[in-house]
Chain A
Amino acid sequence: MKEMKFYGKPLPNVEIEAYSGKLIVIEGTDGVGRSTHVALLRTWLEAMGHAVLDTGMTRSVLAGRGIKNARAGHTLGRLTMQLYYATDFADRLENQMLPALHAGFIVLTDRYIYSAIARAVVRGADPEWMRAIYGIGLVPDAVFYLRLGSVEELAARLLASGRGFDYWESGMDLGLGNDYYDSFIAYQKLLLKEFDRMSGEYGFQVIDASRSIKRVENDLKRLITRVIESEQAKTEAMASVAGSPNAKENIPG
């Protein structure tokens, strides 16, 4: 069990009690393979018998659809965008992540507050403002930052995947370049700088994502095993004292 620790003031009505789950964050800029690794890790963790909840940006019941519609129209102002994302985050935190953590789940999240902060700061938002808003965030058990060496490598990878450039991933709203490619390069460079800056502040564990999927996956598995085992040793010690296992099987709504 671990005490809940938040970056700032916790949300109102949130139970601040010890939780038995793990909050594991996979961070990184667009196209580094975050969602691939979340899927691989989920399968692996479930095979080992761990209950897993995976979540990511714009996947809230409350605001997900609204954000997608607003993005599709390309009429989303900068301040509005940041607050819409914060709403999405708060909804997922309260209704998905925290209940799952209390029930002993391993929560894998594809991006967390760091991506939201980086995108906002690159768009001219005051970093202190963003940090204050996201003070509601729970401090995770581990943050893995998938990092590519260069932005050009990122672009090549995106093209190889057949996905191509998207308006927002290319930062077209910022007017940094004349076409999607130039804009993408300029925008992702700014993001990368912001992520690197946060790396020390938030204690990211940096994973070199320019290697093969298999090697990155092995690294992640090794590090996550460490996070889980430290907990299991404690739980088992406690259970042998109390004489009863304290596993909860509730699936959060």
Chain B
Amino acid sequence: MISYGHHRYPGRLFVVEGTDGSGKSTQLQLLYQWLKAEGYPVFFSEWNSSPLVKDTTRRAKKRRLFTPATFSLLHATDFADRTERDIVPPLKAGAIVLADRYIYTAFARDVARGCDRAWVREVYRFAVKPTVAFFFRAPLDVAIDRIASARPTLKYYEAGMDMDWSDDEEESFKIFQGKILDEYDHMVSEFGLTVIDGTQAIRTQQRQMREIVSRYLKEKLKEKVVLTK
């Protein structure tokens, strides 16, 4: 098994991180369009997307079967499948992989739920270290406003209702997001996350993102592979 930081692949891995409502998915979508237009082979990998684990996760959420530990481990299982299926093969072939949420999401959420920091990092040790990990940072109230306007009801685990912080969903969600943001802030130096101010105009953020990404692109990445998914 190759550990975090020790994989040597010709491809590039760019990931976006941030609390719900930080605008990260929008930014990744824009980056994807740009890279495609530039002629790079690009693959997209989303959090919680493993076909092997999907049904189990859905059922567990519906029936509220999770504890902090099993929530953590099942998400790690999902991520392992993505790593083995969607991330490593294109990277080996020299393609660009874009990931919406990565291991830092798990570190932030699981530790907010009370899992041991060192243990969670150990569980994900097999993960490929990203070329750049963007952290879209938006203040808590901005993020919460965006979520509230986009989604009228919060889901049970999303709001952290399993933790008994509050009987009120909105209150619980705020407490949870606050803890998550604290964890992200700790991880900026620990993992060298690239912070983008999520309160700036969308175009400004995208310009910064493309400027940073372009430093890691080479013309030869374009001709390297033709992959069919």
Contact = CB atoms under 8 A, between A and B. Distances in A.
B85 interface: yes
Contact of A80 (B3, B50, B122): B50
Interface residues on B, range: 20 to 34
Nearest to B51: A75
Given A80-B84, A124-B1, A90 B69 contact: yes
B209 interface: no
A174 interface: no
Nearest to A70: B52
A91 B73 CA distance: 10
Interface stretch (A126-134, A159-167, A191-199): A126-134
Contact of A12 (B52, B83, B113): B113
A16 interface: no
Nearest to B116: A9
B55 to A, nearest CB: 6
B114 A79 contact: no
Nearest to B73: A87
Interface string A87-110: 100110011000000000000000
A136 B126 CA distance: 19
B168 to A, nearest CB: 21
Nearest to B121: A132
B1 A61 contact: no
Interface in B31-76: 50, 52-53, 55-56, 60, 65-70, 73-74, 76
A71 to B, nearest CB: 10
Contacts of A136: 69, 119
A76 B55 CA distance: 15
A87 B67 CA distance: 11
Contacts of B66: 62
A215 interface: no
A8 interface: yes
Contact of A75 (B52, B68, B74): B52
Given A9-B116, A79-B1, A125-B1, A62 B69 contact: no
Interface residues of A, number: 36
B185 interface: no
Contact of B73 (A73, A77, A83, A95): A83
A12 B3 contact: no
Main secondary structure of the interface of B (DSSP, over half): helix
Contacts of B65: 61-62, 91
Interface of A is mostly: helix
Nearest to B162: A13
A197 B136 CA distance: 47
A135 interface: yes
B124 to A, nearest CB: 10
A125 B56 CA distance: 24
Given A66-B53, A75-B52, A126-B3, A80 B67 contact: no
B123 interface: yes
A247 B50 CA distance: 46
Given A87-B73, A91-B70, A132-B119, A77 B114 contact: no
Given A83-B73, A126-B3, A77 B85 contact: yes
Nearest to A64: B56
Given A91-B65, A129-B1, A80 B77 contact: yes
Given A12-B116, A77-B81, A129 B53 contact: no
A63 interface: yes
A126 B2 CA distance: 9
What are the 10 closest A-B residue pairs judged by CB atoms, nearest first? Answer: A77-B84, A66-B56, A12-B114, A83-B77, A87-B73, A79-B80, A132-B122, A80-B80, A80-B81, A11-B69
10 contacts: A11-B67, A62-B56, A63-B70, A77-B84, A79-B126, A84-B52, A84-B77, A129-B1, A133-B123, A135-B119
Interface of B: 1, 3, 50, 52-53, 55-56, 60, 65-70, 73-74, 76-77, 80-81, 83-85, 113-116, 118-119, 122-123, 125-126
